[in-house]
Amino acid sequence: MSNTNGQIYGLTILSPIVQDHVLDISHAIELRQYLATLPQDHTSPFSILDSTHMARLVVMDDVVYVGAPACEEHLKSRYLVFETNFDGDLDTYLSRMAAEIGDVVDSVWKHCVGYPGVTDTGAFIAYMKRCQIDTTFFFADVNDHTVKENLKALQVQSALAHFIAHHQGLPPAELQRAFGQLLCSLDKAPLPPPGGLPSEKTPAEDRPHE
Amino acid sequence: MNAVTPMKTWKTPILRLFFFALGAIPPLQNDLKNLSFIHFARWVIVRRTQFPVLSETQPREQLKYDYLIFFSNFNGTWNQYIDAFSAVLARGLNVIWRWSEKFPGSRPVTGFKRYITLVQFDTDYYYNAYPRAATNDVKAALRVHDALRDFARSSQQISPAEFDTAWRQLLVRVQPDLGSTGVAPVGT
């Protein structure tokens, strides 16, 4: 089993969704409605969980019938699929989920069978591990850098491109001085927020070539 | 992208063996790496008896097939992705999916796209920590970062004339990696 590739962990969770035939709106629909309201940018809960490279939540309604001569079969439950790619180890990540985005975790997994809540972190971790399916093959193109390192590199790339475009033809001494200032400002610059800013709010200096 | 395909249970050990080889012999992943537009991808074999049961009242699945679930985090449009898969990775894809029921092969691409359309299911929520950067952007940015760190270290105590020469060498080194990032074009 290969849940890891380099320093990236690939977690796959299948949580059965509660079936209650008395409800007007099923848990699966309510869950989908909630997921549609979650922000995807720097205000996303996964931006708080800042070791997350990429994550998805999917309501899996059924398996697929591919046509005769294959047999047609169906799932008896719907499943919430949680697929995430993050830095570090599983226990730390799950503990952080419980501690830092517990309200969102509650809002999502309260629709799932046997969910114990996040108050007891040990119980939450045990529940998630019961729902975990080991990854058979995990591919990570960049597997040796953290989210923070990638964000820093992207910030440096953008700043250097901007610097080069605006300092062409300077005398060497002036260029050297300006370069020193660039390094200072890069050292002090806060990391861009994971998840990115909404497009209309992206500062012009982050789009040097547009 | 998410896709789920049924497999006869006797076939899954064969596929597991192939994935083991793919993990154990890194050069076999070269085509996948050289495509360079997939951040992360995974194949998960779920045995027919492996769907999690969390309560005694939860109905147990009664399935004949094991299932192969595929998740991919890629840049660009669906059509670009499937076309590139079919054009570059046809042999590798066939080795992976030939064990799934009614897989038509990854070429010709029309039948392949029909099959993928049938077996994929939509994502309800998606998060990306660096949504404006393609895989190549991330790799390029890491190279620029390394180059700048080397240059900053080696240019601390040099004269302006030496700096000028070293600066030009830096520009030559990083210029292929200075493309800007941004919102992906809308595909058709």
Please give the pLDDT value at position A75.
97
B92 confidence band (pLDDT: 50, 70, 90) = confident
Domains in chain A: how many in total? 2
- Taking the Cβ of residue A128 and every Cβ of chain B, the question of whether any pair is shorter than 8 Å is answered with no
pLDDT in tens, A13-42: 999 999 988 888 999 999 999 999 999 999
Please tell me whether residues A53 and A113 are part of one structural domain. yes
Looking at the predicted structure, is the pLDDT value of residue A103 above 60? yes
Task: Please check whether residues A122 and A167 belong to one and the same domain.
Answer: no
Together in a domain, A121 and A163 = no
pLDDT at B62 over 70: yes
The pLDDT, as a whole number, for residue B80 is 87
What percent of chain A stands above pLDDT 90? 90
Listed range (A84-93, A129-138, B12-21, B86-95) with the worst mean pLDDT: B86-95
Alpha-carbon Rg for chain B in angstroms? 22
In a domain, A141, yes or no: no
Q: Which of A131, A159, A175 is the last residue of a domain?
A: A131
Query: pLDDT at position B187, please?
Result: 54
Q: A140 in a domain, yes or no?
A: no
Question: How confident is the prediction for chain B on average, in pLDDT?
Answer: 92
The interface predicted TM-score (ipTM) is: 0.93
Q: What is the pLDDT of residue B31?
A: 80
Q: Do residues A126 and A152 both lie within one domain? A: no
Contact B41, B71 (CB under 8 A): yes
Q: How many CA atoms lie within 13 A of B24 on its CB side?
A: 7
Stretch 155-174 of chain A: residues touching chain B, C-beta under 8 Å: 156-158, 160-161, 164, 171-173
Same domain? A113 vs A157: no
CA terminus-to-terminus distance, chain A? 44
**Domain check: are A126 and A188 in the same one?**
no
Tell me what pLDDT residue A210 has: 36
Q: Give yes or no: residues A69 and A127 share one domain.
A: yes
Residues of A with Cβ-Cβ distance to B55 under 8 angstroms:
113-114
Same domain, A127 and A55: yes
Select from A31, A47, A142 the Cβ nearest to the Cβ of B139.
A142
Whether A124 and A152 map to the same domain: the answer is no
Digit-coded pLDDT (tens) for A61-74: 999 999 999 999 99
Domain boundary pick from A131, A159, A174? A131
Whether the predicted pLDDT of B97 surpasses 50: yes
- The confidence score (pLDDT) of residue B109 equals 94
Residue A173 and residue A166: Cα distance in Å, rounded? Answer: 16
Q: Do B135 and A141 touch (CB under 8 A)?
A: yes
Contact B145 A156 (CB under 8 A): yes
Encode pLDDT of B41-60 as tens digits: 999 999 999 999 999 999 99
Same domain, A89 and A171: no
Residue A68 in domain:
yes
A76 shares a domain with A112 = yes
- Residue A142 within any structural domain of the chain: no
Contact of A199 with chain B, judged by CB distance below 8 Å, is answered with yes
Mean pLDDT check: name the lowest of A75-79, A171-175, B22-26, B125-129. Answer: B22-26
SS (H, E, C) chain B: CEEEEEECHHHHHHHHHHHHHHHHCHHHHHHHHHHCCEEEEEEEEECCCCCCCCCCCCCCCCCCCEEEEEEEEECCCHHHHHHHHHHHCHHHHHHHHCCECCCCCCCCHHHHHHHHHHHEECCCEEEECCCCCCHHHHHHHHHHHHHHHHHHHHCCCCCHHHHHHHHHHHHHHHHHHCCCCCCCCCCC
Q: Which of B46, B141, B183 is nearest residue A156 as measured by Cβ atoms? A: B141
- At A21, which CATH number? 3.30.70
Q: State the pLDDT at residue B30.
A: 84
Is position A127 within any domain? yes
The pLDDT tens digits of the residues spanning A141-150 come to: 999 999 999 9
- Which residue is closest to B53 within chain A, CA to CA? A16
Report residue B28's pLDDT band, with 50, 70 and 90 as the boundaries.
confident
Is A15 part of any domain? yes
pLDDT tier at B34 (50, 70, 90 boundaries)?
A: confident
Structural domain including A151 reads 147-206
| Averaged pLDDT of chain A | 93
Nearest CA-CA partner of B60 in A113, A32, A30: A113
Boundary-marking domain end, from A106, A131, A156: A131
- B-chain residues within 8 Å CB-CB of A210? 180, 182
Same domain assignment for residues A88 and A52: yes
Is residue A172 in some structural domain? yes
Asked if B61 and A77 come within 8 Å (Cβ–Cβ), the reply is: yes
Asked whether residue A54 is assigned to any structural domain, the reply reads yes
